């Protein structure tokens, strides 16, 4: 998503993404954080992987929420 409706939300998203990539307990890749859905993770069952999946779900949920809030700020134009 290149166009943001609210610059504060873009900064918040970037900060959250940076944290997920390098500052958190688990270091996630950009590929893992690219799509904010958990479908691809549903079949991973090892205990370490489950903990990591939970942390990834948390990070993805935060990123998705910020995007959805920004999308809600889309200007409405009537034709």
The average pLDDT across 47-71 equals 84
In a domain, 48, yes or no: yes
In a domain, 62, yes or no: yes
Cα-based angle 25, 31, 37 (whole degrees, multiple of 5): 85
Give the domain extent around 59.
7-71
Kindly state the tokens that stand for 68.
């959805």
What's the CA gap between 39 and 35, in Å, rounded? 10
Residues with Cβ < 8 Å from 29, sequence gap 6 or more?
A: 21
Quick: pLDDT tens for 15-37.
888 888 887 677 888 888 887 66
Quick: pLDDT tens for 42-55.
555 567 778 788 88
What's the CA gap between 26 and 72, in Å, rounded? 30
Domain count, the chain: 1
pLDDT number for residue 1: 47
Rounded (to 5) percent helix, strand, coil in the chain: 65, 0, 35
In a domain, 77, yes or no: no
pLDDT number for residue 76: 59
Q: What is the pTM of this model?
A: 0.57
pLDDT number for residue 70: 87
């Amino acid at each position: 998503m290149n166009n943001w409706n609210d610059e504060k939300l873009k900064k918040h998203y970037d900060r959250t993404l940076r944290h997920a990539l390098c500052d958190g307990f688990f270091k996630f890749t950009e590929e893992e954080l690219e799509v904010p859905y958990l479908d691809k993770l549903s079949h991973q069952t090892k205990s370490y992987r489950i903990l990591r999946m939970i942390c990834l779900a948390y990070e993805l949920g935060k990123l998705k929420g910020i995007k959805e809030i920004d999308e809600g700020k889309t200007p409405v134009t009537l034709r």
